[in-house]
Homo-oligomer: A and B are copies of this chain.
Amino acid sequence: MPRHTLVADIADPGATRVTIVGDEAKHAIRVKRVREGDTIRVLDGKGHAWQAGVLEARKSLVLELGERDVLPDVRPRLELATATPKGGRVDKMIDQLGQLGVAAWRPLNTQLGVVEPGANKLERLRRIADETVKQAVLPRPLRIEADLDLHAALEPASFDGPIVVADAMGKPYDPTGADHIRLLIGPEGGFTEQEYESMSGRGVRLMSLGTTVLRIETAAVAAASVMLDQERRAAG
């Protein structure tokens, strides 16, 4: 494994030499003790990765880029809209979903939901998603998007692929073969009768995750794992 991984904004994908400045350089040199002659890994968050030799590690980091690798995109693109777990639980959820290669997350507003993250919190979640790119060697970061009301999430104009809801009343997940899937997870108080009726009108699939009661973030990670596994299996 390379000594360190960093994300750099590499405008020219054919570049052979880049200079990293600012916090990324400081962190690499002072905290990770990257030195001249080391080999590190560089990601651009746009699907590319390089092994890079360190030519200089003083105030800035001068790197010689090796051959460019193209990181495989995670298929299908899975977009989650979930009730927002409280406190630090949402941070951990974003990191875990990012590691799995989930494409996007946004807060889901429902009748019995309570927490709605503000703009500051969404910005913090974006920073967490960006950090996960390095650790999980992701082609691109999980996108954090604006909140969505359940009725809007179900409108065909909002999303034209299959919509799946994690729910104790559901069945095991069968693969859809679709390239773009939306997964909804409600609050710990559940959905109302009226909400179930709207879902049934839109033909959503209810997906069961066993007989125990899962917190939002565990349901999100478990459902995303099973869905990505099922779809990969079906795609061969």
Contacts and interface: CB of A to CB of B under 8 A. Distances in A.
Contact of A225 (B99, B221, B232): B221
Chain multiplicity (copies)? 2
Given A218-B221, A225-B225, A210 B100 contact: yes
A96 B225 contact: no
Contacts of A218: 95-96, 99-100, 221
Q: 9 smallest A-B Cβ distances: which pairs? A: A222-B225, A225-B225, A136-B212, A226-B229, A99-B218, A101-B212, A136-B213, A96-B218, A172-B233
Interface in A61-118: 71-72, 74, 92, 95-96, 99-101
8 contacts: A99-B215, A99-B218, A100-B210, A101-B211, A136-B215, A209-B225, A218-B221, A226-B229
A4 to B, nearest CB: 14
Interface of A: 1, 71-72, 74, 92, 95-96, 99-101, 135-138, 172-173, 189, 209-215, 217-218, 221-223, 225-226, 228-229, 232-233
